[in-house]
Structure 1
Amino acid sequence: MTIKKKPIMVLGCTSDAGKSLIVTAICRLLANRGVKVAPFKAQNMSNNAAITEDGSEIGRAQYLQAIAAKTTPSVLMNPVLLKPSAETFSQVIINGKVDTAISNMPWMARKKLIWPKVVIALTDIQAEYEQIVIEGAGSPAEINLREGDIVNMSVALACQADVYLVSDIDRGGSFAHLLGTWACLAEEEQKLIKGFVLNKFRGDPSLLGNAMDWLEEKTGIPTVANLPYHRHHLPEEDSFRLGTTWQHGAINVALIYYPYASNMDEFDALTYQDDINLVPVQTAQDLSVFDAIILPGVKTAAKA
């Protein structure tokens, strides 16, 4: 008989705190130890999707995490996927398929229909695997979104997960982020937080001084990890590496990065090609200096 382990959940103080990569790493670590493990994210918002063996559509972060877990990607790992198509509209994919009716509903009215589907997926994946590693979305401290939450503390409470809160220390303000996020949670939610994680740290760890002790005195929660900044070649969950500019002597390729460009993961291979300099173009400029121009796919098109 397989002994079920308590779910692990990784939440972030902000978007892009590094939740996806940390979940990926934990999945591979546990899989290497012989644990039957799977990732789970109740709701993902991304135009970068992946297709499972049965033709279902899930976020590519959960697809990658499943590979790291040495298991087959499944719609159970990401039952709800939102694909932004306009400023105030997202295509809603439920259990791998587009749901037009829910897509057209107001945001806050969706929970009563979507939450039961999340609970079913969460229950089913827990029954199938020895350990699940859950990823949150954005920040659990976004008070304006808590009423409709189906991905952060609602999931943590539903499965009584051991929660670890991650802050991107490279941005600055990590200890304020961690303390403030913890303070915004209800008491029953605070009790689920087992540790804080500092992510993307550069430099000498001794510079942290007694800040971690100070944080534990305020919250009763220890800082359990300080993860160094690491440049990796794994695909991003829902963004594209920006900041590259035209370079003399390189093969410069302009990638027109307009709003709601989709499937940007298709160009990952170019970003890592040694002789190619892929330049995301977001503002009007002279394109005659480029060797090639790419127009990516898009989820919406402006009317002429």
Structure 2
Amino acid sequence: MVLGTTSGAGKSWLATALCAWYKAQGYRVAPFKAQNMSNNARVVATPDGGYGEIGSAQYFQALAAGVQPDVRMNPLLLKPEADTHSQVVLMGQVSAELTAMAWRERSNHVWPAIAKALDALRHEYEVVVIEGAGSPAEINLSHSDVVNMRVARHGNAHCLLVTDIDRGGAFAHLYGTWALLPACDQALIKGFVLNKFRGDAQLLAPAPAMLEELTGVPVVATIPMLRNHGLPEEDGVFDDRMASGAALPGQAMRTIAIIAYPRISNLDEFQALKNVPGVRLVWARDPRDLVGADWIILPGSKATSADLRWLRAQGLDQAVCAHANAGQPVLGICGGLQMLGESLIDPEDVMGNQPGLGLLPLVTVFETQKTVQFGAYQLGPINGSWSALSGIAFDAYEIHQGQTRPYEAMLTAGMQLQPCCGQLAWANGAGNVLACYFHGLFESPAVLHALFGMQAVSLQAVFETMALQVQAWFSEMV
């Protein structure tokens, strides 16, 4: 089990790397995280033949392990819809009952499903790599814990505690976390890991030896700062310093601005763009961030109407429309598709009514039932800026509440619309504004080749590199 002293310490990356390493050694390995809080979700098949949601980190960990992603690998997913409210997804399905329940009361209701899922994976696989959440030593949460030490005790897990040394105070973080745990949990901590270190590791002495003297736990690895490692960031954390791929000789840099509204979702799908040479990503929160952008992308949102209001409050709506009206490329994905239409209608009080940006003659009606689906899709003919995607086939997934249809009044008034894939994708008449419900579009090699004339680094290559890194840094432990 990989625990962390804080969120963002590197748990997800290390758990993924361990999955890749154990796979390389020939083990049957599966990932597990009891509870994830993230709007980065992936669609996977469920045992009954349907589809469900799990956190993106466990999806990628399963791929690193070489196994089919499974809802049991992340039985509880919390998707924030506001600062004090999250949608609860249990075993891949939204639970209205749990969503309405006070969060401190949920643990007894969800623990049986969590324990059952972990037990099933332990029965089927030789190794299960478990990821914790936040810190295991949050004393205000210990009585309702379902993701850290309760899981470790249930599985009698060998635990690593990782800390981000780049933040400073790493040894205090490690010792303080260990010291706050009861003796039975301290006994499960088998090694400390220093992550994101810059410099000569020998300069850390004598601190690792002193820490081991205090706790009896060795520092088993010091992982250097890794930029552009190729793995999507987890839990909505992205680092602008890591958002650019160097251009090849003679290649022009293309700037793609992604609107980073407060409830942005599924941003991990843009990691593939980060891996493309010559692409510079800008996370736009202000109109000035859009200056000089070649493309603007409106990504998914967990609260589309609220994020559209935020867009207007920042003045980004006018900047997006000006970019589109100048004939420059704009892409809307899922919630971004809905924002580009004429209006958002909410008869069930799901997200709230809101006028759209009016760049496409579309209207979206929100529904209580969520569409969760994975499949193979193909775009039809597209004129204009996005014509390179004409006829391209790809795999993608849908996660949205609401259905979108052409708005007849705007069409009658003369506004043009190009249907590109049934009721899932449209472009304006000029072909520079494209909107679709497809998440994972840029993860398709065919799409990347059509748009950029090249392939990004494959995830398989990323996993293989991670496995080699684990071998180097944990040679004594493993």
Asked if Structure 1 and Structure 2 have the same fold, meaning a TM-score greater than 0.5 normalized by the shorter chain, the answer is: yes
Give the counterpart letter for 1:154 in structure 2: R
Partner of 2:231: 234
Displacement of 1:217 in angstroms is 1.2
Normalised by the length of structure 2, the TM-score is 0.59
Give the counterpart letter for 1:237 in structure 2: E
**2:14 matches 1:18:** no
RMSD of aligned C-alpha atoms? 1.9
Partner SS, residue 27 of structure 2: coil
Aligned length: 295
Partner of 2:220: 224
**2:69 matches 1:73:** yes
Distance 1:12 1:239 in 2: 17
Displacement of 1:179 in angstroms is 0.3
Q: Name which structure has the greater RCO, CA cutoff 8 Å, separation 6+.
A: 1
**2:170 matches 1:167:** no
Write out aligned runs for 1:124-143 (5 A): 124-143=120-139
Give 2:44's match in structure 1, choosing from 48, 52, 68: 52
Any conservation in 1 of the 2:98–2:106 contact (CA below 8 Å)?
A: yes
Per-residue CA deviations over 1:236-292 (Å, capped at 9, x if unaligned) read: 12225332599xx73322211011111112322222222322110124536343233
Distance 1:106 1:76 in 2: 24
Give 1:152's match in structure 2, choosing from 148, 163, 166: 148
**2:35 matches 1:35:** no
Any conservation in 2 of the 1:108–1:147 contact (CA below 8 Å)?
A: no
Which is further off, 167-176 or 249-258? 249-258
Unaligned runs of 5+ in 1: 1-8
Write out aligned runs for 1:194-205 (5 A): 194-205=190-201
Partner of 2:312: none
Per-residue CA deviations over 1:205-251 (Å, capped at 9, x if unaligned) read: 111011011101111111111112222011112225332599xx733
Give the counterpart letter for 2:26 in structure 1: G
Give 2:189's match in structure 1, choosing from 187, 193, 197: 193
Distance 1:295 1:162 in 2: 42
Distance 1:242 1:165 in 2: 23
Partner SS, residue 17 of structure 2: helix
Give the counterpart letter for 1:290 in structure 2: A
Any conservation in 1 of the 2:236–2:265 contact (CA below 8 Å)?
A: no
Displacement of 1:143 in angstroms is 1.6
Any conservation in 1 of the 2:45–2:71 contact (CA below 8 Å)?
A: no
Partner of 1:4: none
Partner SS, residue 176 of structure 1: helix
Partner SS, residue 162 of structure 2: strand
Distance 2:255 2:208 in 1: 45
**2:103 matches 1:107:** yes
Distance 2:127 2:256 in 1: 43
Give the counterpart letter for 1:235 in structure 2: P
Larger radius of gyration: 2
Displacement of 1:57 in angstroms is 1.1
Any conservation in 2 of the 1:242–1:280 contact (CA below 8 Å)?
A: no
Partner SS, residue 300 of structure 2: coil
Give the counterpart letter for 2:236 in structure 1: S
Any conservation in 2 of the 1:165–1:178 contact (CA below 8 Å)?
A: yes
Give the counterpart letter for 2:239 in structure 1: L
Partner of 1:61: 57
Per-residue CA deviations over 1:57-94 (Å, capped at 9, x if unaligned) read: 11111111111111111111110011111111111110
Displacement of 1:30 in angstroms is 1.2
Partner of 2:260: 257
Give 1:297's match in structure 2, choosing from 293, 297, 300: 300
Any conservation in 2 of the 1:240–1:264 contact (CA below 8 Å)?
A: no
Give the counterpart letter for 2:184 in structure 1: E
Distance 1:39 1:238 in 2: 16
Partner SS, residue 88 of structure 2: strand
Partner SS, residue 143 of structure 1: coil
Distance 1:58 1:137 in 2: 15
Unaligned runs of 5+ in 2: 245-251, 307-351, 355-478
**2:276 matches 1:273:** yes
Distance 2:199 2:260 in 1: 33
Distance 2:157 2:146 in 1: 15
Distance 2:207 2:289 in 1: 48
Q: Taking structure 1 as reference, are residues 80 and 145 closer, same or farther at Cα in structure 2, changes over 3 Å only?
A: same
Distance 2:180 2:287 in 1: 41
